[in-house]
Amino acid sequence: MKLNDLEKTTVKSKKRVGRGHGSGKGGHTSGRGKYGQKSKGKVSLLFEGTKLKKSLLKRLPLLRGKGKFKPFSKKPIVVNLKYLNLFEEGQVVDIENLAKKGIIKKEEGQRYGVKILGEGEIKKSLIIKLPISKKAAEKVKKAGGKVENV
């Protein structure tokens, strides 16, 4: 490998401002100017500039309690094995069929997903096309059903 064989780089790295004379943009004000809001330090993310408008934090509803800093994402809907006894022998268990039986709402099932857990007993052999726990999968196979991983 020779130096003239190396690829040419066109992207220059950003100059780090305020790191002394040797940095190429250094000394005294380092290109920031003498006065002004950005000359001395960072402006906070939540700063909006005027007192006339309510700030973003003031406009958000007040959340109280333990999980107020947690995201609002929902976990999958849990369906226990005991509710799958509503299905007929050999029927496919998926979101659409669960919604037809009235176990879950179709829109919520598609948005958050569904997981089958092993509480209760199952007496019928079913074909399951949903995420399922190990314990529930064992019970389904013992009853003569199939588990297809999707």
Q: Where are the beta strands (DSSP E) in 10-119?
A: 77-80, 92-93, 114-117
Tens of pLDDT, residues 19-57: 888 888 878 888 888 898 888 888 888 787 766 677 777
Q: Coil, strand, or helix at residue 80?
A: strand
Q: Are 79 and 103 in contact (CB under 8 A)?
A: yes
Q: Which structural domains are found in the chain, ordered by start?
A: 77-147 (3.100.10.10)
What torsion, rounded to 10 degrees, do the Cα atoms 117, 131, 128, 101 define? 70
Q: Model's pTM, two decimal places?
A: 0.52
Backbone angles phi, psi at 120, to 5 degrees: 90, 180
- pLDDT score, position 116: 94
Q: For residue 114, give the nearest of 134, 94, 85, 97 by alpha carbon.
A: 94
DSSP, residue by residue, 20-32: -GGGSS-STTTTS
Sign for the pseudo-dihedral over CA of 129, 132, 138, 143: negative
Tens of pLDDT, residues 78-131: 999 999 999 999 999 999 999 999 999 999 999 999 999 999 999 899 999 999
Q: Coil, strand, or helix at residue 147?
A: strand
